[in-house]
Every structure is written in C-alpha cells, then in structure tokens.
Chains A and B, each alone.
Chain A
C-alpha cells in the first residue's frame, strides 16, 4: 500500500531564501509524482508533474526532482516571496495499473515572512 510522507509539516522562512520541501513514498511503482499548492479554504493548483521516466521538471522559480530508487521527491523554491505562502502537497499517481487515484501526503505549510 502506497504511503506518501512530507517533511516538515510546517516551515517559516524570511523572504528571499531558497528552500527545499521533501516528499517520500513507499512504493516506487508510480506513473508520476505531482506537486500541488493549496491556499487556505481553496482547491489545489497543479505546480509540476514529473513522469516516472523523468528526473526533474522546472517551472519558473520551482524545480521538482524525482528519485524513484530512493522513493523521494523534492520541490525547490528559489528566492521565496510572501506570495509563496501556502500548503504544498505532493501526490503519487498510478501504480501497477492506471487507477485514476492520487495518493497525497499531508502537506507542508509554508510561511514566507516579508
């Protein structure tokens, strides 16, 4: 059974700092690993999707990496801004067959202080 864990649960940093959010998963048989952002009381916004054959994806100040052998993914945020404050969720997709199901971690709540 796939389990997804995110550490730390919460993080507070000053504006401008580079930071790394961690995600680990127990079953390496995944189709993809996705990172989402959730603002309070809102839905999720897809940030990056890394296919199982890929090692990393980049979008603007965000870079996500995937290491299936170690069961880890990281989300790197460069030059953090107060507008980056949100909860970041990682989710593993797939498995031995396409179930249409994502397994989510509990999230890391990020606060970027001006």
Chain B
C-alpha cells in the first residue's frame, strides 16, 4: 500500500513568487494535515483538511492557503514568497475526522527554498 506522497521533492523559487505543493494521502484517509519545519523553529502546524473542508489553521498569514479535492488529495499554496518561508513542508494523513487517537502518517516532504 502506498504511503503519503508529496510533490515536488524540491522546489526553488524567488522572493515574491508563488509556490504550490501537492499531497496524496494514504488510500482511505480523509484527513490531511500540513506542517512547516523550518531550521531552528521545529514543526509548526499549518492547516488541517477533512472531507474537503478546512477544519483548523495555525498561526500563519493568509498568504498560506490550501484546499482538499474530492479524492482527498491536497494542495498547499504559498503566495508572495518570503525568504523565511524556506523550510521542509510535511503533509500527513489520518483515517477520520474526530478520531483524535488516529495515528498520523507523514510524507517525505517538499523542501522549499526561497532565494
């Protein structure tokens, strides 16, 4: 069974551009989560989607946005890129909304570099 897949693996952009990151959850998983892992800051919660709806977002500016498609895959968009957006962006999926004790399964991430 395929795990959580993310694309691209690496993404290089310049300041002010837009970045689009993609995530495919494990088959049968309806919840998708996005986390940012920046050097020195650790893992920070970005967004949670379930059944196509945004359920929660972390303390990030509105230029971080996303969506979840009918097939439960998800996209994270970062507009007006800033140098400090350089980080590893991790996507995770789990079985069900409300299942607080469902394990999260993470992808390998997209390394975003903003020059």
Q: Are B42 and A94 in contact (CB under 8 A)?
A: no
Q: Are B48 and A31 in contact (CB under 8 A)?
A: no
Given A100-B31, A104-B43, A106-B42, answer yes or no on A31-B106 (Cβ-Cβ < 8 Å).
no
Minimum C-beta distance from B41 to chain A (A):
9
Q: In the complex, which residue of chain A has the Cβ closest to the Cβ of B32?
A: A100
Decide yes or no whether B33 CB sits under 8 A from chain A.
Answer: yes
Report which of B55, B90, B101, B111 forms a contact with A44, defined as CB distance below 8 A: B90
Q: In the complex, which residue of chain B has the Cβ closest to the Cβ of A99?
A: B56
Q: Are B100 and A45 in contact (CB under 8 A)?
A: no
Q: In the complex, which residue of chain A has the Cβ closest to the Cβ of B58?
A: A101
Minimum C-beta distance from A38 to chain B (A):
9
Minimum C-beta distance from A10 to chain B (A):
15
Contact code string A98-113 (vs B, CB < 8 Å = 1, else 0): 1111111111000000
Report which of B45, B48, B109 forms a contact with A43, defined as CB distance below 8 A: B109
Q: Are B100 and A98 in contact (CB under 8 A)?
A: yes
**A residues neighboring B (CB under 8 Å):** 31-32, 34, 36, 41-46, 49, 51, 89, 91, 93-94, 98-107
14 contacts between A and B (CB under 8 A): A31-B100, A43-B4, A43-B90, A43-B106, A43-B108, A44-B92, A44-B106, A49-B103, A51-B101, A100-B31, A100-B50, A101-B56, A102-B43, A102-B104
Give 3 nearest A-B pairs by CB, closest first: A100-B48, A43-B106, A104-B43
